[in-house]
Structure 1
Amino acid sequence: MRRAEASVSLVELLPLRRVRLPSASKLAPYLRAVDRANWYTNFGAQSRALERRLAERYAVPADTVLTAANGTVALTAALLAADVPADSYCIVPSFTFTGTVSAVLLAGLRPWFVDVRRDTWALEAEAVARELARAPGEVRAAMPVSPFGAPLQQAPWQEFESRTGIRVVVDAAWCFDSIQAMRLPTMVSLHATKVFGVGEGAFLAGGTPEFTRRARAITNYGIEADQGSVRVGGNFKLSEYSAAVGQAALDGWAARRKAALRVKAWYLEELGGLPGTALLPGYDGDWAPATFALRFDEPLAARMLDRLSAANIESRMWWGRPCHRLRAYSGYPAAEQPNTEWLCERVLCLPFFESMKRRDVRRVGKAVKNALRSFTSPRTR
Structure 2
Amino acid sequence: MRHTAPADEGEAFSDFGQLRSFEGARTAASANLIPGLNRGLIPGALRHLLAYEPVLPTTDALAPYLRQIDRSRMYSNQGPLVKGLQHRLQTLLGIGEGTTVATNSGTGALVAAILAHAGSADPARPYAICPAHTFVATALAAAQCGYRPWLADVCEDSWTLDPDRLADHPMLHQVGLVVPVCAYGRPLDVARWARFQAATGIPVVIDAASAVEALVDGTMTCHPQIPIALSFHATKVLGCGEGGCVVLPDPALLARVTQTTNFGFMGSRDCQSVSFNGKMSEYHAAVALAELDGWAAKRADFARIARTYHSALQQAGVAMDALVLHPQIASNYVLYRCAGGAMAEHLRLALADAAVEARFWYGGGLHRHSYLIDAPCDDLPVSERLSATLLGLPMGAAMTAGDVARVVAVLVAVLVGAPASDHLAQPVWDRAAPIPASVPA
Q: Shared fold (TM-score greater than 0.5)?
A: yes
Query: Structure 1 residues 154, 279: CA separation in 2 closer, same or farther (over 3 Å shift)?
Result: farther
Rate the CA distance shift 1:4–1:110 in 2: closer, same or farther, 3 A: closer
Alignment of 1:45-56 (within 5 A): 45-56=80-91
Q: What TM-score, normalized to structure 2? A: 0.79
**In the superposition, relative to structure 1, how do residues 268 and 151 fare at CA in structure 2: closer, same or farther (>3 Å)?**
farther
Residues of 2 paired with 1:108 and 1:181: CA distance? Answer: 29
Give deviations 1:168-225, integer Å, cap 9, x for gaps.
Answer: 1111111121222112211111000111100000011024111111111111111111
The Cα shift of 1:290 comes to: 0.7
Structure 1, 261-270 or 29-38: larger mean CA deviation: 261-270
- What is the CA-CA distance between 1:366 and the residue it aligns to? 2.2
Provide the rounded CA distance (Å) in 1 between the counterparts of 2:326 and 2:109: 29
SS at match of 1:33: helix
Structure 2 residue corresponding to 1:163, chosen from 179, 184, 199: 199
Report the equivalent of 1:129: 167
- The partner residue of 2:97 within 53, 62, 75 is 62
Among 205, 209, 216, the residue aligned to 2:247: 205
Q: Which residue of 1 aligns with 2:347?
A: 304
Contact (CA 8 Å) 1:84, 1:140: kept in 2 or not? no
CA contact (8 A) 2:184 2:329 kept: no
CA root-mean-square deviation: 2.2
Partner of 1:274: 318
Shift of 1:137: 5.3
Corresponding residue to 2:221 among 177, 181, 191: 181
Moved more, 137-146 or 228-237: 137-146
Q: How many residues align?
A: 371
Q: Deviations over 1:310-345 (max 9, x none)?
A: 011111111122112312112221011011111111
Residues 94-116 of structure 1: CA distance to partner in whole angstroms, max 9, x if unpaired?
A: 11111111100011111111100
Q: Secondary structure at the match of 1:204?
A: strand
Residue 353 of structure 1: CA displacement? 0.6
Q: How far apart in 2 are the matches of 1:102 and 1:233?
A: 16
Equivalent pair of 2:179/2:204 in contact (CA under 8 Å)? yes
AA in 1 matched with 2:127: Y
Residue type of the alignment partner of 2:252: E
CA contact (8 A) 2:259 2:266 kept: yes
The CA distance in 1 between the partners of 2:187 and 2:150, in whole Å, is 23
Cα distance, 1:357 vs. partner?
A: 1.7
In structure 2, the CA distance between the partners of 1:337 and 1:276, relative to structure 1 (3 Å rule), is: farther
SS at match of 1:79: helix
TM norm structure 1? 0.91
Residues 198-347 of structure 1 mapped to structure 2, 5 A cutoff: 198-226=240-268, 228-271=270-313, 274-275=318-319, 278-280=322-324, 283-285=325-327, 289-299=331-341, 300-347=343-390
Aligned partners of 1:243, 1:11: CA distance in 2, in Å?
36
Task: Name the structure 2 match of 1:378.
Answer: none
Letter in 2 for 1:336: D
Write the distance in 1 (CA, Å) between the matches of 2:86 and 2:37. Answer: 53
- Residue equivalent to 2:185: 149
Write the distance in 2 (CA, Å) between the matches of 1:271 and 1:127: 37
Q: Quote the Cα distance in structure 2 between the aligned partners of 1:195 and 1:322.
A: 23
Matches of 1:85 and 1:258 in 2, distance apart?
A: 42
Q: Separation in 1 of the partners of 2:175 and 2:37?
A: 56
Conserved in 2, the CA contact under 8 Å of 1:77 and 1:107?
Answer: no
1:194 matched residue in structure 2: 236
Larger mean Cα displacement after TM superposition, 82-91 or 5-14? 5-14
Q: Once the 2 structures are TM-superposed, how far is the Cα of residue 287 of structure 1 from its aligned partner? A: 7.8
User: What percentage of residue pairs aligned between the two structures are identical?
Assistant: 34
Structure 1 residue 240, shift from structure 2 partner: 0.3
| Structure 2 residue 139 is matched with structure 1 residue 139 | no
Q: Is the 8 A contact 2:133 2:362 kept in 1?
A: yes
- Change in CA separation of 1:29 and 1:125 when aligned onto 2, cut-off 3 Å: same
C-alpha distance in 1, partners of 2:189/2:403?
33
Q: Where does residue 135 of structure 2 map in the other structure?
A: 97
Give the equivalent residue in structure 2 for 1:24: 59
- Equivalent residue number for residue 436 of structure 2: none
One-letter amino acid of the structure 1 residue matched with residue 372 of structure 2 = Y
CA distance, structure 1, for counterparts of residue 313 and residue 148 of structure 2: 40
For structure 1, which runs of at least 5 residues remain unmatched after alignment? 376-381
1:353-378: CA deviation from partner (whole Å, max 9, x where unpaired): 11112232232122112112459xxx
Partner of 1:353: 396
Residue 437 of structure 2 is matched in structure 1 by none
Structure 2 Cα separation of the partners of residues 32 and 177 of structure 1: 30
Partner amino acid, structure 2, of 1:182? C
Deviates most, 114-123 or 231-240? 114-123
Structure 2: how far apart are the matches of 1:32 and 1:90? 44
Paired residue secondary structure (1:220): coil
1:254-294 residue CA offsets vs partner (Å, 9 max, x unmatched):
111111111112222234683396244xx453886111011
User: Could you tell me whether the CA contact under 8 Å between 2:100 and 2:254 is conserved in 1?
Assistant: yes
CA distance in 2: counterparts of 1:63 and 1:122, whole angstroms: 29
The runs of 5 or more residues in structure 2 that have no matched partner are 1-25, 419-441
- Partner amino acid, structure 2, of 1:313: V
